Structure 1
């Protein structure tokens, strides 16, 4: 029953909400599509949290997506033990970087009284979900060996079965609870994403990582340069 809920019902509910609500929100209220900046409310932890988070999570998202699209090529790549060890180490490092970033971003919201007033329930929810998702990912990378291989040979066929509307629960049914929590949390994130400011992720905001500093001009003649 629990496996059916996590691996059959939840994915289709999440996909329906992701596509349906995202398209509706984009067409009817495009001004809320991107996340508003809170840099003027708190700057230091935003810098130290946002950069590790984005530099860690964006490569990991692509690392999860590429085997789904190019399974044969990835299988050949992971067949080399040295390559596998290197990639596993890189993935763990990126996971720890993302985990540090999301912890600092959550701490930033908790510690700033003025920022709390601009923080909604959806902000707390998505931050906690991302913390759980990143934390379980790091745990699996550290303690469940050769995650790249079992992801390729178990998770990828399962994801494809979902896409082809023929869910094959048996691929993941016997995995440890932490794996099921990781999958379930990912589905919940997809489901709530269109209702949150994280929807800007769908716009692929990668260019901001190399943006030039934005120039602020303040009344009174002071000039400050801060970088998002």
Structure 2
């Protein structure tokens, strides 16, 4: 029974989530191109947005960088460079914890902004609330997993979660690697499942809309009208 559950959660469900993620973006682009934006509310309030957005985006980019180094880079690479498990763990904590705290703080400010500014509260959609809710769970669960794994002799996700995750993209499914993973890491992964599933149907699609054409377009020239 346990093997069947592991296969469902770590061998089948990830591909269902990935199908929703990719298919949802394709559907959204075909059916709602005019809604494919971040729906900025900067003109309604700037102070909280500036602070919260800076903290959240700065923190989350640092967190994503840490995930890349810890999950996508095999542990054998670090061994070949002479980086011990203890050294990696210390570096991960020194950068990961401040980054996580910054992301949580920024997200909390953005949530407060949505709740306290009446004009923004009235224009906030259900999708916006869903994004904030699941983002908060993702970030808090990830930060909690970091604190609960602060012992350098504790759980090493680079030999379990990392190879499991990389294996999904080469169709080498290894759900057995997740059998002994602590529950707080699994909660973090389930939160990411949920967030990835709603992503294509919310404002998060703007992440894939970097205005590359702006880099090569001509400058816009503004002229002041002089009255006689």
Note the C-alpha offset of 1:176. 2.4
Kindly report which structure 2 residues correspond to 1:27-46, keeping only aligned pairs within 5 A, or say none: 27-46=30-49
> Which stretches of structure 1, 4 residues or longer, exceed 6 Å deviation after superposition?
none
1:103 to 86, 108, 122: 108
> Is residue 183 of structure 2 the alignment partner of residue 177 of structure 1?
yes
Note the C-alpha offset of 1:33. 2.2
Counterparts of 2:38 and 2:154, CA distance in 1: 32
TM-score by length of 1: 0.79
1:124 paired residue number: 129
Counterparts of 1:124 and 1:51, CA distance in 2: 20
1:57 paired residue number: 60
Counterparts of 1:87 and 1:23, CA distance in 2: 36
2:29 paired residue number: 26
For the Cα contact (< 8 Å) 2:149–2:155, is it kept in 1?
Answer: no
Which structure would you say has the larger Rg? Answer: 2
Note the C-alpha offset of 1:160. 2.2
> Over residues 15-73 of structure 1, what are the superposed CA-to-partner deviations in whole Å (9 max), with x where a residue is unaligned?
10111121232344333222021012222211121110000001211321344443132
TM-score by length of 2: 0.79
| Change over 3 Å in CA distance of 1:7–1:92 after alignment to 2 | same
| Change over 3 Å in CA distance of 1:188–1:97 after alignment to 2 | same
| Change over 3 Å in CA distance of 1:117–1:170 after alignment to 2 | same
Counterparts of 1:148 and 1:36, CA distance in 2: 43
Counterparts of 1:41 and 1:2, CA distance in 2: 48
Counterparts of 2:153 and 2:105, CA distance in 1: 21
